[in-house]
Structure 1
Amino acid sequence: MACEKEEHLVNKNNEQLPQNPKDMVQNKFIFQWDTLIDDSKNDDEFFIGNQYIGVQRWECLATSPHIYVGATFPKSSFATTFDRENIDKKHPIDLTFNFPIPYITCMEDVKGSEYLQKIKEALKSKEFQSYTSPQRPYIIKFAELKSLSNIENCFPYNKEFGNALKKIAQQEFNMKNIKSLCISEVIFKGFTISMDVPSDGLFIAPPSSLEELVYIRTLTYGVTAYFVIASNNSYQNVLEAFKNSFMDEYYNPNGTLHESQVILLTISDINQEASIKLTFNDLNRF
């Protein structure tokens, strides 16, 4: 279901929010990330991204693709729509969960429902008890918005999500004298599940279109957050606060973030549904 577009930005007190903070010159918006951490350039993994996420209790539904280790798709739909999965019978495959103490299991019937069952079993295993969530983010980046109406430009492949985030911000922000608006993406990588290709091939009876098919050999799970900050300080000052201990800048009465507001959306489950949080303490716990 598509989210409605909003022509006027107002807060929950029915007061119009500034389209452009008053200390900024109104120009055509050019979206550009300022990267604080980016470990993605050190690997060759493909990040599925934000194109499928939705928001809990909002008219913006998640459209999580039906993907799993061992799933096979035409090249034309891989990493885009992930549709037209080839469901021909496959040989059993061994799955490895890369916990500090690896967990290995066999998926006899290679299909999505069996895969989800194997994940549930792995999360209950003694091997999983050796796993701890990473402390260092995989990606942290910020961008100046200048206007809430620019949020949708940050999500070119999921305008509905961008529109929902814009509407949440306009509903919750009630600051006076907003000087800057910014958005951030934070990603933590979790564990990886990989497969061993059977020695006699993936398919029991190879399909005629085998050369046109690709399969998912590994999947890495993690958590993602998107947050928008409205501040009475400049964007550069807000960015600088996150290069250090941002909570110090929040608790300090004279800190950059003390009078700022934040809208935080976190995505931590396989269904790609974002939950809404509204405090810097929530962001710190994330």
Structure 2
Amino acid sequence: MRQKHYIYLVALCCLATGLLGACSNEEELDSVVVPQDDKTENAQGRFDETPFVWDYTYSTDKEADSDQIFIGDLMQAGLDEGVATRTTTNRRSGGSSTGRDGSSRRGSGSADENYRDEDIFISNPIPVYLGAAFPEKEFGKSFKPEILYPRNPIDVIFNFTRPFFGEITKEHGSIGYKRLFTQALDSKEYEQFLKGGAKESFEFSCTEYFSYSDIEKALSASAGLAGIFSTKIKNNTKSVNVKSRLFGQLISKNFTVSMDVPVDGFFKDHAKDTVPENPVYVYSMTYGKVAFISVESEYSFEQVKTAVEAGIKYKIFSAGGGFSKSDLEILSKSRITLFIISDDDPNGHTFYTLDNIKNTFNLSYSLYNPGYPVFCQGNYTKDNSAFRMKSSSGSSGSRRNDGGSYNRGDSGRRGGSSGRGSSSRT
């Protein structure tokens, strides 16, 4: 009897030990982080000591304005990120790009942190709206603080196929612009614009990267966004013998909103137009959507670039040409991570094939999905001349990476002379 009792106790102890071990294993599984490529994690970044540059840029917009500044990554990601800072050169033009201190930052929201999808929150807290004014040194960077001197009325043009005109009479803040923006989206002009396709143009840029620190450099305007995208790349578990890495950015533009040059001065008190802060106001804004792309592959960067370029041109741009079996094989054997941001959801969307980018970018813009601000242009209040971001060497970034020149055009203004449109005042 005692022997049976002893055996029972031993069995019970084994069962309890097994249950505790199982619970421990479950806890370990809950805390598991997908193994990372140590070579990539610890590798010297291509842009650790040099400014970020695009290796290649392709655009369907033949009238691209070199004075436009890319702001599609000016957002905060995560629940509690640091203050967003901006690169010192317009990344759209392919110029050099550094952090505020010229180095690759690793702090809160850096690529070293692990993010869960449920923790991701993306918003655009930067007060960039048509007619907002900022000190010259912060325009295109932090966009803070806003200069709030009373301003004169602003005449506004939405460059739909048949333009919509309006006026902002409020002297302060963004409410006047937001009301006019809502009226424009409710207008017959926008409805007709949507029926006509509503896709103004596409732009694709890519570069080779060596380490996740390069992602931080590329997305230096938002450390949180850089951390999230880097983590999503790490957590892509597809097995690949990585020999090259491509980082890309695809932009779809819907429409541009611009203002007439204020001939009577921007601020009501003309003396404020020439204050020491040298104010710059938001002259135009372009709405659209953005996709960030990472391709890790066993093929060379040039082979991957050619395949990605062919895929995007064939699937997205409808630019003719073909998507060969070789291109398909290269992409099918590569590890692809996409992070797409539009205005129809406060969170970004993550995908793992180019087909997903096609499906997302081929979704038509609508009344409730007009896009979000991806470009802006600034003018000086003192003389209404165009603001141009400077590189660390002091030169303006005014060339495309594919060798074509950016000539100052009137893409933000071109809607003002085509046809007759309705107007509104707010």
Both proteins in one fold, TM over 0.5: yes
Q: Which residue does 1:172 correspond to in 2?
A: 236
Check if 1:191 corresponds to 2:255.
yes
Q: Answer with 165-174 or 92-101: which moved more.
A: 165-174
1:41-60 counterparts in 2 under 5 A?
A: 42-49=64-71, 52-55=74-77, 57-58=118-119
Match of 1:260 among 310, 334, 341: 334
Q: Which residue does 2:265 correspond to in 1?
A: 201
Secondary structure at the counterpart of residue 257 of structure 2:
strand
Give the alignment's TM-score, normalised by structure 2: 0.54
Match of 2:34 among 1, 6, 14: 14
Match of 1:119 among 173, 181, 197: 181
Indicate the structure with greater strand content: 1
Secondary structure at the counterpart of residue 188 of structure 2:
coil
Counterpart-to-counterpart distance in 2, 1:273 and 1:258: 27
**Contact map agreement 1:58 1:164 (CA 8 A) in 2:** no
Amino acid of the residue matched to residue 147 of structure 2? N
Q: Which residue does 2:106 correspond to in 1?
A: none
Q: Answer with 158-167 or 27-36: which moved more.
A: 27-36
Counterpart-to-counterpart distance in 2, 1:44 and 1:156: 20
**Contact map agreement 2:76 2:122 (CA 8 A) in 1:** yes
Check if 1:160 corresponds to 2:234.
no
How many equivalent residue pairs? 270
Instruction: Evaluate the alpha carbon distance shift between residue 169 and residue 27 of structure 1 in structure 2; reply closer, same or farther with a 3 A threshold.
Output: closer
Counterpart-to-counterpart distance in 1, 2:262 and 2:327: 62
Shift of 1:239: 1.0
Q: Which residue does 1:33 correspond to in 2?
A: 54
**Contact map agreement 2:308 2:331 (CA 8 A) in 1:** no
Secondary structure at the counterpart of residue 137 of structure 2:
coil
Counterpart-to-counterpart distance in 2, 1:45 and 1:188: 18
Shift of 1:268: 2.3
Match of 2:191 among 104, 129, 133: 129
Q: Answer with 157-166 or 98-107: which moved more.
A: 157-166
Give the superposed CA RMSD. 3.5
Shift of 1:103: 0.3
**Contact map agreement 2:133 2:279 (CA 8 A) in 1:** yes
**Matched-pair identity in %:** 24
**Contact map agreement 2:266 2:273 (CA 8 A) in 1:** no
Shift of 1:229: 1.5
Q: Which residue does 1:151 correspond to in 2?
A: 215
Counterpart-to-counterpart distance in 2, 1:153 and 1:224: 18
Q: Which residue does 2:128 correspond to in 1?
A: 67
Instruction: Evaluate the alpha carbon distance shift between residue 179 and residue 68 of structure 1 in structure 2; reply closer, same or farther with a 3 A threshold.
Output: same
**Contact map agreement 1:60 1:161 (CA 8 A) in 2:** no
Secondary structure at the counterpart of residue 153 of structure 1:
helix
Give the alignment's TM-score, normalised by structure 1: 0.77
Shift of 1:61: 5.0
**Contact map agreement 1:263 1:279 (CA 8 A) in 2:** yes
Shift of 1:147: 3.7
**Contact map agreement 1:73 1:214 (CA 8 A) in 2:** yes
Check if 1:214 corresponds to 2:280.
yes
**Contact map agreement 2:240 2:335 (CA 8 A) in 1:** no
Amino acid of the residue matched to residue 133 of structure 1? A
Counterpart-to-counterpart distance in 1, 2:328 and 2:268: 67
**Contact map agreement 2:200 2:253 (CA 8 A) in 1:** no
Indicate the structure with greater helix content: 2
Q: Answer with 276-285 or 201-210: which moved more.
A: 201-210
Amino acid of the residue matched to residue 37 of structure 2? L
Shift of 1:232: 3.4
Counterpart-to-counterpart distance in 1, 2:137 and 2:200: 37
Q: Which residue does 2:162 correspond to in 1?
A: 101
Instruction: Evaluate the alpha carbon distance shift between residue 133 and residue 34 of structure 1 in structure 2; reply closer, same or farther with a 3 A threshold.
Output: farther
Shift of 1:258: 1.6
